[in-house]
Amino acid sequence: MGTSEPLLPDRDPFYRTEEPLSGIEPGTILRSRAVRVGLFGRVPQRISAWQLLYRSTDLSGRPEAAVTTVLLPWGADPGTPRPLLSFQCAIDAIASKCFPSYALRHGARALGSIPQLEFPLIASALSRGWAVSVPDHEGLGGHFGAAKEPGYRALDGVRAALRFAPLGLHAGTPIGLWGYSGGGLATAWAAEQAGEYAPELDIVGAVAGSPVGDPANAFVRLNGSPFAGFAMVFTAGLARAYPQLEHLLRDHLSERFRTLLARAEHSATFPLLARFAGRDADRHTRAGLAAMLAEPELLAVLAEIRPGAQAPVMPMLILQAVNDEVIAVADIDAHVDRYLEHGAHVHYVRDRLSMHLPLQFLGAPAMIDWLADRFDGVAPDPPGVRTVWSVALSDRARPQHRDFAALLWRMFTGGPIGARHQRRAQVPQPRRLSGVEAG
């Protein structure tokens, strides 16, 4: 079967609006269209999917247009009550081909983008019978690393999904948030902003896996490492989100390094990591990296982009690998401490045996089960910290790994992604998170 390549977001008229947005309520749908989604852009998926252009808000409080992809299980009856999951992908790039609304489409040429790798996790939520919203949380400008606005876009994407009649949702629909790594950071922003920005939403829980914790620390640690590409694209994203940094970067960074940053703007994440592995920004700064990071303007931005300044109003699960090679466990420990100090209901699970990327998939049963329990009205575990050997080894998780393998087979063969089972009855029986306790 041939594929028709969709237009990139920066060339697609669907993403543009000439309409003044200042008098329009956040979450209002401006435009919609049915789309076809595909695994790695190649294998068409039997999933019902639409894109919504809606009104949202940027970092400065100005109205803007944003896009989310909303999905239903194949053959789902829109009259059947179901929860809504907002899944924040780890976009971790600023090239428009990495935005989920493009990367998930059939025919997309976005090999090496993280949303394509995360598509099976989205499908696992659909197999539960849930509706899913996948926002382009970096916005049309690719503001990777910006504070707060990823949360605004995710929450307004939820508002738009609730208003979109083909999904069959309503104002009282229970809502969950889920994301990992860069998507976990976006989920943390959504969880923090929800109480003030979208208090009407019935968000019953949020799951943030390895949610970065302190982007400034991550930048310093990853610079010059095998994951230096993350530090480079993070710098490029901040330059887009915070124009006041442009002169500072121009004064401190060599012309050669600024040229490399410009190239990073057009690359998917995994090719970027391969190309810039080991690149040390310190060798391309006129006075050294420490001097650049000590500039007051940059210090103010780095403080602003650190999450944890306010408590999420919903229960939250945070999952982190103790030996994570990308995100330092100490940064997540400190992030959780900030939440707990503010009185948040956070259950923090540290996994001893996994590393960064494997935990996203090995921990998927624990994360999605935790959300399912919130949708079913099960009381969450008390707030606090727990260290386990592995969240992947419990009796509850093991059969789900087999189910996930079967789901992958259906996706690779183009089989229907429908509800695997109906929602469980809402019986408030406490359940422990999947995992094996550490000794």
Cβ proximity of 32 and 58 under 8 Å: no
- Catalytic site includes residue 181: yes
Which residues are CB-contacts of 397 (< 8 A; sequence separation ≥ 6)?
365, 366, 369, 391, 434, 435
Active-site hit among 356, 369, 376, 394? 356
Pairing between β-strand 203-209 and β-strand 316-321 as defined by DSSP bridges: parallel
Q: Tokens representing 374?
A: 């919130």
CA-to-CA dists, residue 396 to 365, 399, 432, angstroms: 8, 7, 10
Interatomic CA distance for residues 184 and 190, integer angstroms = 10
The residue assigned the tokens 């983008």 is: 113
Distance CA 274, CA 271 (A): 5
The answer for residues whose C-beta is within 8 angstroms of residue 204's C-beta and 6 or more apart is 83, 174, 175, 176, 314, 315, 374, 375
Known active-site residue 324: yes
Q: Which of 156, 324, 351, 381 is catalytic?
A: 324
Contacts of 259 (CB under 8 A, 6+ apart): none
Going by C-beta distance under 8 Å and a sequence separation of 6 or more, which residues neighbour residue 316?
191, 205, 206, 207, 208, 339, 344, 345, 346, 347
From the candidates 96, 181, 210, 354, which is the catalytic residue?
A: 181
Strand partners, 49: 35, 71
3-state SS track over 344-362: CCEEEEEECCCCHHHHHHH
Residues acting as catalytic residues: 181, 324, 356
